[in-house]
Amino acid sequence: MRNYTSAILFSVAIIISAIVLGNAYIKRSKPEGEIAVTGNGSRDFTSDLIVWEGSFIKQGQDLKTASAQLEQDKQIIAGYLTKNGINPSEVVFSAIEITEQQRPKYSDKGQYMGDEFIGYRLTQSIQITSKEIEKIEDISRRITELLNEGIQLNSQPPRYYYTKLSDLKIELISEATKDARERAEKISQNSGSEIGDLISASLGIFQITGQNSNEEYSWGGTFNTSSKEKTASITVKLNYRVK
């Protein structure tokens, strides 16, 4: 009887050992899976810096006279801006660009005889950089008032920037990383597994588009400067091991 009991116990021990070893082999031979997820981070924000540019010209056959007239226009423009509350330190006048103007000359028979000098064209640009966005916007719309004083000034649409862009990028990366982690956890839970160590992480291209616009993302990144109200976004791709 004792030998019979011992044989049974020995057989049970062999079966248990086989099960344990078998499970260990399965776990050891089963490769760990991976999961790749992409997280998104986006934020609406308002620009806090405006840049407005314009240019004015003078033309004449005598360079000295044209230069003096251009300088007179410059002083009138500077006075106009100061009168309207623009800080002179925010205003930058570029160097003068001088272009010789010529026109083709033809004989009575229509034969081309070369070009003839008809005068100089002097162009100077002005740029205003300021955090007083509404004030500069108003100036850019009313600058045509200078036409009444004989100044031909060509105004460009304002450009808008954000001075805290570096901080915003860090916040969006954190937000996108958190979003990717939550996606990975949700997927693993639904599949009855757990996420393990992070294998790799990569950033997408930082994009800035105008709010309520139809701008499309680009491979090189979109950087909108025409809209005061913007949306910034970025993606983060994470690869995890799955246990």
pLDDT at residue 196 greater than cutoff 80 = yes
Candidates 3.60.21.10, 3.90.480.20, 3.30.465.10, 3.30.110.170; correct CATH number of 32-46+164-242?
3.30.110.170
Nearest to 151 by CA among 54, 85, 57: 57
Model pTM above 0.85: no
Q: How far is the CA of 206 from the CAs of 31, 168, 172, 223, 226, in angstroms? A: 36, 11, 9, 9, 17
Phi, psi values for residue 212, rounded to 5° = 60, 35
Consecutive H or E run containing 99? strand 97-106
pLDDT at residue 66 greater than cutoff 90 = yes
Assess contact for 165 and 225: CB atoms under 8 A: no
Contacts of 184 (CB under 8 A, 6+ apart): 35, 37, 195, 238, 240
Q: What is the separation, in whole angstroms, between the first and last Cα of the chain?
A: 48
Assess contact for 161 and 49: CB atoms under 8 A: yes
pLDDT bin (cut points 50, 70, 90) of residue 144 is confident
pLDDT at residue 217 greater than cutoff 80 = no
Assess contact for 54 and 155: CB atoms under 8 A: yes
> Which CATH architecture group holds 50-158?
2-Layer Sandwich (3.30)
pLDDT at residue 23 greater than cutoff 70 = no
Parts of the chain belonging to CATH 3.30.110.170: 32-46+164-242
Parts of the chain belonging to CATH 3.30.70.2970: 50-158
pLDDT of residue 8: 44
- Cα–Cα dist 130/52, whole Å: 9
pLDDT of residue 42: 95
> Which carries the bigger pLDDT value, residue 68 or residue 3?
68
pLDDT at residue 176 greater than cutoff 80 = yes
Max mean pLDDT among 63-77, 98-112, 189-203 falls in 63-77
- Cα–Cα dist 239/161, whole Å: 34
pLDDT digits (tens, 9 = 90+) for 27-40: 444 446 889 999 99
pLDDT at residue 16 greater than cutoff 90 = no
